[in-house]
Structure 1
Amino acid sequence: MAKTRTVYICNACGAESSQWFGKCPSCGVYGTLEEQISNNTNNGNFSRAGWQSQSRTQNKKESPAQPRISVKFSDITEEEQPRMDSGYHELDRVLGGGIVPGSLILIGGDPGIGKSTLLLQTANQLSIRFPRILYVSAEESGQQIKLRASRLRVGLSGDDSDSSNGQEKTPLLEPNLYILPETDLEEILRELESLKPQVAIIDSIQTLHFSTINSAPGSVSQVRECTSALMQVAKRENISLFIVGHVTKEGAIAGPRVLEHLVDTVLYFEGDRYASHRLLRSVKNRFGATHEIGIFEMVDHGLDEVTNPSELFLSNREEQAPGTATIVSCEGTRCLVVELQALVSPTSYTSPRRSTTGVDYNRLQQILAVLEKRVGIPLSKLDAYVASVGGLAVEEPAADLGMAIAIVASFRDRVVDPRTVLIGEIGLGGQVRLVSQMELRLKEAAKLGFTRAIVPKGQTYPTDLGLEIIAVNKVIQAIVVAIPSTQNEDEEDSEEN
C-alpha cells in the first residue's frame, strides 16, 4: 500500500523540507514553502541486490558479453539537422543558424522588455513560409493580441493602390498563424497533437496550470510538470517550441533550475527598457555557440534588426573629447567596436568615488591600482567614472587597455586619436597580455575605417588589413603611443634626461 507523507517545497528555489519553516533553509526567502503530499511507492518485487542475485543464480554458465539495447557510437549515422529560417538574421545567429525542428527554446527577460513583441513578429514571419504556426497566449485574450498586432503592423492587407489614395493598409495577422488563448495545459497539449504546428509559442510557462497538481500556477511543481509535458509532445511531434519565462528581481528565470536543464536553448532578452536597443543573449545552446548576441532596436512598429551594431556603440566620433578610447569586444563569434569614456576629477569627500556603467567595477579598481603603482599616476585621491557608450556590458579582460588609456587621457586632459583601437589585458605587474580572437577584432576595426591598433606583443598579426599595428608589452608604452604629449611635457622630459 502506498504511504503518503507531507513535504514542503520552496517555490523560489525548489528545495524540499520535511517540516515547515518561515524562511526557506536553502535560499533564505521568507514565505515560499508550500505543503504538498508525496506518495512513497515501494515495489517489493524489485531490489537491486535481489535482481543481481537472481541473475547470477539463473546464469550459472558465463555467457559472452553483448549489448541489450545500446548501440555503438560508430554505428550512429551523421545526419545534418535541417534548420528553419525565423525571418530575423539576429535571432538565427543567436540560435546557431536557425530553428532546429523539435527543439525547446526558453526566452527570459524583464517585464516590458519586448519578449512577446519579438515572438509575435517571429511567428508572423514564420507563418509566411509554413502552413501552421501556433501562438498560445496564457496572459492575453485574442482581441488583445489583435490590437497589439495592429499597433506593431504585423502583416498587411490591401494593395498598393490603397496607400496611394491616402488610405493606410490594414494591419492583420497572416492566415497561417493560429491563436490559442488558454491556460489549461491539457487543452494546449490536445491542440498541439491535433494541429501539429511546425512552431509553437507558449507565452508564458508561469501562467499555465496542470489540473492534476494541487498548487498555484507558477509554483515549482507546476512549472516543472508543464515543461516536461510540453517537451514530450514537442519531441514526439517534432514541434519547435518557444517558451517565455518570467524572471525574478535578481534577473534569473523564475521557477526551478530544472527548467533550464530541460530545454535545449536558453536566451535572455536584455536592455534598458527606457533605451531603444535590446540584446538577445544565448547562455545555453545545444545546437550552437553560447554567449552569442543579437541586437534589435525598439521602434514605433516593434523591433527592428540592427545591421551594423558597432555604429550603435560608437558616439559622435567627429567631436573629440578627452578621456575616450575605443576597444573591440567579442561576444561569442561577434566582434563589436565600443567606445569607453572616463572622467577623473578631484574628490570632495574623504574617500574618492568610483562608478562604472557597462564595465566591471572590480576591473576598474584593479586598473586604478596598477596605474598608480606601476605608472606613477596619483589616482588614489581622485574620483573615477568609467562608462561604455550605449550601455553594452563589457566584461572581458580585453577592455583593460582601453579603460586604462581613457583614464590616463582624462587625467592629463588629452584626446586619443579617434581612429585608434586598443586591445589587451593588463596584468598586475603592468604587462599587456594577449587576448583571444585577435584577428577577428582587427578585421572588425579595419572594416569600420580605423587606421591604427595598439595590441599586445608576442604574436604575429595580419598585415593586409590596412592597419598600423603597434605591439607593446607594458602599459606605460601604450600610454606613450596612444596619448600625445604637449611641448611643455617634452621639454620637461628632456630636462630630466
Structure 2
Amino acid sequence: MAKTKYHFVCQSCGYTSAKWLGRCPECGGWDTMVEEAEVTAKNTKSYLPVNSEKIKPKTIASVAKVKVERLATGIREFDRVLGGGVVPGSLVLLGGTPGIGKSTILLDAGLRFGQRGVKVLYVSGEESEEQTAMRAVRLGGANASDNLLIMTATDLDAILAQANAVKPQLLIIDSIQTMYNPELQTAAGSVGQVRECTAKLLQFAKTTGIAVMVIGHVTKDGTIAGPRLLEHMVDVVLQFEGDRSYSFRVLRALKNRFGSTDESGIFSMEAGGLAEIANPAGLFLEDRDGEAAGSMIGACMEGNRPIMVEFQALVAKTPYGMPRRTAVGFDYNRVNMLLAILERRFGLDFGTYDAYVNVVGGMRVTEPAADLAVAAALVSSYRNRPVPKGVLVFGEIGLTGEVRRVSAPERRIMDGINLGFKRFIVPDNKLSLGNVDAEIVRVKTLEQALKALFG
C-alpha cells in the first residue's frame, strides 16, 4: 500500500512547501502553513454531460451569430452592477463581511427569478432548509414559486448530481467555504478545498451552460478568503461593502468579463430585506441643517453616479506631545498629506492640534476628488469659520497645492443643482453645461479655492 505524502499549504495564498515554515515566503503571513495530504487525480464518475461539439474550434463570426440573453434578476441595482443580468454559463463570486447581506440578496434574486419562470437551485451549506424557508418568508416569499428549489448540502459531487438532474438555469452556492470535495482528504474551507470546488463549479458552468453564483467569505483585511487564484478563475467578482452600524450597503464589481466595473449598486437594509436606492445623490444630506464649522459637502462618484457626501473635520488642541490623526471613511494617509500641504503652503500650524476627519453616514470614500472637500473642512474647523450653505466642492489636490481635474464634472454639478446647491468650487477645466442657474467658480490652486470659500 502506497504511503500517503503530506505537504504544507499557506491558507492565505496557497503557497506549497515540503516542510513547515513559520512565515509564508509568498505572502508574508505568519503561522498560515497547514499540513495537507497530497492527492493524486482519480478516475471518478463525472456528473457533467459530454458534448464533443463544444470542444471543436469555431470562428468568431459563427459564434457571434448566437445571441446570448442575460437573466435579469429584477433587482435593478444588482443588474446594473452585473451589466444587465446574469450571463448563462458564467461563474459569479459574491464576497462581503458576515451579516452584510450576501445571502439575503441572492435569495431575493432567486425568489424573483422563480416568479418569472426561471428555475433556480439554492444550495446552503450553512443553514437548514427550514432556516432558508424562514428567511424567504421574511423577504416576502410566503407564496414562492415552485421554480425555486432549496437544498442543504456540502458534498459537491452530490450537489452537482442533483443540479444535473434538476437542470436549473441558475445554481446558487452559499457558501464556497462550506463545500466539500470528497476526492480531497482535507477539511472544508481549506485552500485546497476552496480551489478544487471552485474549479469543479467552473467546469460545470461552462459545460452545461448553467449560471453559477457563489458566496465567498472575506478575511479581516476585506479580501475574499482563499487563494488569489480564486478571483482569477471566476468570471465576475462582486464585493458587498458597508458598515453594519448603518443601513446602507454598496455593491461593487471588482472584475466583470461581461460588463463594466465602473457601476455600483446602492441598497438599504430594511426589516424586509435589502431595498434599492435608485437615486442616491442626496442620500447623506437628509439630516443636515444650518451651518457649522468643520463641515463641507463634496460631490463624489459611486460608479457612474454622483453622491453628495458631507465631510466633517475637527481640529482641537492636543493634550499630548504627539498630535493624533484619525480618519473614518477616508484614507488616513491622504489626511496626513492634506495636512502637510496646508502647513507647507499656507503656514497653518497643525503640529499642536489633533485632527479628526469623518465621512457622515458610514460611507467609504476612496476617490481623490474628495481632497478639496476634506481640506476645506479642516481649514473651516481650524479657523472656526463655517462654510456658507449651498456650496459644493470637488477636486483633487496635488503636493504643490494645485487643484487637478476629475472625471464627470458636469454630472456632479447638474446633480448638485437639482439638490439645491447654488455655488460650486471646481477645478479649472472646460465645462459643457450651457446656461445654468448657479455660480461656478473655477480654481487652479488650493489657495484660490480657500479664498473663494472664506474670503
Indicate whether the TM-score tops 0.5: yes
Q: Which whole-Å deviations, capped at 9, do the CAs of 1:291-337 have from their partners, x for residues lacking one?
A: 53211111111111122222222253332211111111113212211
Rounded Cα–Cα distance in structure 1 between residues aligned with 2:171 and 2:34: 33
Q: What secondary structure sits across from 2:64 in the alignment?
A: coil
Distance 2:197 2:40 in 1: 20
Q: 2:103 aligns with which of 96, 113, 116?
A: 116
Alpha-carbon spacing, 1:31–1:374, altered in 2? closer, same or farther (3 Å): closer
Q: Distance in 1 between matches of 2:382 and 2:204?
A: 62
Partner of 1:225: 196
- Provide the secondary structure at the position in 2 that maps to 1:444: helix
Partner of 1:283: 254
Give the C-alpha shift of residue 377 in structure 1.
2.1
In the alignment, which residue of structure 2 is the partner of 1:319?
A: 290
1: CA distance between counterparts of 2:231 and 2:292?
45
Counterparts of residues 26-425 of structure 1 (less than 5 Å): 26=26, 27-30=28-31, 32-37=33-38, 39=40, 77=64, 81-150=68-137, 152-155=138-141, 171-425=142-396
Instruction: Measure the CA separation in 1 of the matches of 2:75 and 2:149.
Output: 20
Mapped partners of 1:144, 1:238: distance in 2 = 29
Shift in Å, 1:481? 1.2
CA contact (8 A) 1:317 1:418 kept: no
Quick check: 2:21–2:33 contact (8 Å CA) kept in 1? no
One-letter amino acid matched to 1:422: V
SS of match in other structure, 1:222: helix
Aligned letter for 1:34?
E
* Alpha-carbon offset, residue 79 of structure 1: 5.4
Task: Output the amino acid matched with 2:229.
Answer: V
The alpha-carbon deviation at position 193 of structure 1 amounts to 1.2
Aligned-residue offset at 1:461: 4.1
- C-alpha displacement at 1:146, in angstroms? 1.6
* Structure 2 Cα separation of the partners of residues 401 and 37 of structure 1: 55
Instruction: Give the counterpart letter for 2:278 in structure 1.
Output: T
Local SS of the residue matching 1:310: coil
Q: CA separation in 2, counterparts of 1:374 and 1:79? A: 61
SS in 2 for 1:94: helix
TM-aligned CA deviation for residue 400 of structure 1 = 1.0
Describe the shift of the 1:234–1:272 C-alpha distance in structure 2 as closer, same or farther (beyond 3 A): same
Contact 2:95/2:240 (<8 A) preserved: yes
Distance 1:79 1:470 in 2: 52
- Matched residue, 1:467: 438
For residues 262-317 of structure 1, the C-alpha deviation after alignment (integer angstroms, 9 at most, x for no partner) is: 11111111111122111112111111221532111111111111222222222533
By how many angstroms is 1:113 displaced?
1.4
The CA deviation at 1:80 is: 5.2
In the alignment, what sits opposite 1:435?
406
**CA deviation string 1:387-425 (max 9, x = no partner):** 111121111111111111111111222221332111111
The aligned counterpart of 1:446 is 417
Distance 1:140 1:395 in 2: 35
Q: How many angstroms apart in 2 are the aligned matches of 1:241 and 1:380?
A: 55
> Matches of 2:385 and 2:453 in 1, distance apart?
10
Cα distance in structure 1, aligned partners of 2:357 and 2:250: 21
1:231-270 Cα offsets, whole Å, 9 max, x none, are 1121222212110111112221111211111111111111
Shift of 1:143: 1.0
- 1:150-202 CA-partner distances (Å, limit 9, x unpaired): 3x2422xxxxxxxxxxxxxxx34332210111111111111111111111110
Corresponding residue number in structure 2 for 1:7: 7
Question: Residue type of the partner of 2:31?
Answer: Y
Alignment-mate amino acid for residue 243 of structure 2: D
Q: Is the 8 A contact 1:372 1:379 kept in 2?
A: yes
Give the Å deviation of 1:379: 2.1
CA distance in 2, matches of 1:175, 1:374: 67
Match in the other structure for 2:21: 21
Mapped partners of 2:213, 2:62: distance in 1? 32
Query: 1:9–1:36: 8 Å Cα contact kept in structure 2?
Result: no
1:456 correspondence with 2:442: no
Tell me by how many angstroms 1:36 deviates. Answer: 2.2
Q: 1:8 to 1:32 in 2, by over 3 A?
A: closer
Task: Kindly indicate whether the alpha-carbon contact (under 8 Å) linking 1:325 and 1:339 is maintained by their aligned counterparts in 2.
Answer: yes
Q: Which amino acid aligns with 1:253?
A: I
Q: 5+ residue gaps in structure 1?
A: 42-68, 156-170, 486-497
> C-alpha displacement at 1:31, in angstroms?
5.3
User: C-alpha offsets along residues 431-490 of structure 1, whole Å, 9 cap, x if unaligned?
Assistant: 11111222222222223222221111132342334332111112111112112x5xxxxx
CA contact (8 A) 1:4 1:39 kept: no
Secondary structure of the residue aligned to 1:206 is helix
Matched to 2:153, the amino acid is: E
> What 5-or-longer segments of structure 2 have no aligned partner?
43-55
In the alignment, the residues of structure 1 paired with residue 65 and residue 449 of structure 2 have an alpha-carbon distance, to the nearest angstrom, of 50
SS in 2 for 1:313: helix
Query: Is the radius of gyration larger for structure 1 or structure 2?
Result: 1
Which residue identity lines up with residue 17 of structure 1 in the other structure? S
Deviation at 1:76, TM superposition (A): 5.6
Secondary structure of residue in 1 paired with 2:361: helix
Instruction: Name the count of aligned residue pairs.
Output: 440
Q: How far 1:77 moved relative to its partner?
A: 2.9
Structure 1 residues 315, 321: CA separation in 2 closer, same or farther (over 3 Å shift)?
farther
Equivalent position SS for 1:180: strand
Q: Which amino acid aligns with 1:134?
A: L
Residues 187-196 or 284-293, more deviating:
284-293
Q: Quickly say closer, same or farther: Cα 1:123–1:251, change in 2 above 3 A.
A: same
